[in-house]
Structure 1
Amino acid sequence: MRGRDETTGEYFSPSRSAQRRAALDILALGEQLAAMSDAQLARLPVPDTLLPHIHDTRRITSHIARKRQLAYLAKQMRKLDDTVLDAIRDAMHKDGETARREAALLHRAEALREALLGDAGDAALTDLLAAYPQADRQQLRQLVRNAREERAKNKPPRAFRALFRSLRALLAQEGTGSADPADQPVEDEGEDDEDTHG
């Protein structure tokens, strides 16, 4: 039974429910860590003492044994300072956010490329150049022209890929603002956008 401070009325320790929630939270974090690749783990501030336990958990496939190993991993994690666990959570959150932003950027560049190569490509190019005055107009026009030619003649997609890289770099310069005028041609060319992902 947990004690209570007679003067303030506060409990000396967290309730059993709070302790259980904290334990389940650490167990869930352990599961997430065990599901990550070595490269993903390397980007997180995971202490070296914890890595062998994560690798063991990943290696075990038997359901019961894995559950036992996860519980052991969580027990080892509870020995860590709260600041270490918070740092791991923060890094995971930031990494996830970065990945989402990168994926959104790739989708925008892909959709924009399809808009430029579609039927309304000239209008899309005009809109793009208006939205990004710093863009290399001549290079973009040349890449669009070459990519269209490649498609028409069934050639290897070298200009097609180069156009994508140029668009991605251009969109990355502007950051991730959603109110970007360059999104305009993408919305107009909704069918092309679906084609790229289907």
Structure 2
Amino acid sequence: MKLSLLKLALLLALASITASCVTNQGASKADKQQSILEMKNDTLSRLFKVKPHVRGQLNEAPGYAVFSNANVNLVLASFGGGYGVVKNMKTGQHTYMNMGEVGLGLGLGAKDFRIVMVFDSTEVMNKFINQGWVFGGQADAAAKASDKGAAVGGEAVVNGITIYQLTESGLALQATVKGTKFWKSTELN
């Protein structure tokens, strides 16, 4: 099967976006942790500008999580991966985590996005940290590069977790059913 130049360019772009988004920066454990905390702080600052009420929601919540994720859609399959951190608001403790997702559905493109999850209870947060499964459907469109473009993401409440999504960059159109797994990082905790 012969690939067209457009398909080859798209595959290279997808590989590049995925590789740059799935790895956190730094050589040492402390450097990697610091990189994740900087991503968290930057993401929250951006979210507070768009949805100022979220600051109060986080302060009232027992905890929250922030993840960086790269997602690739190739016609009938979707996959992605990333990293992030859960903050327990009562203890101030950070739990560093990884994520991976796979899905089926129609889609084409890639996007780099951030997820903020606000936990309604300590039990929900602990279950998320220790079990980490989240299943769901997704339908969205994103066309964004740096500060240019637009993204339709949004807000959802699933099993006691309010989820916000911010698109960083990418070009994607998708309607997929995904399984997402979050798990503790053995390297960073």
State TM-score, norm by structure 1. 0.25
Quick check: which one's helix share is greater? Answer: 1
Greater fraction strand: 2
TM-score w.r.t. length of structure 2: 0.25
Larger Rg: 1
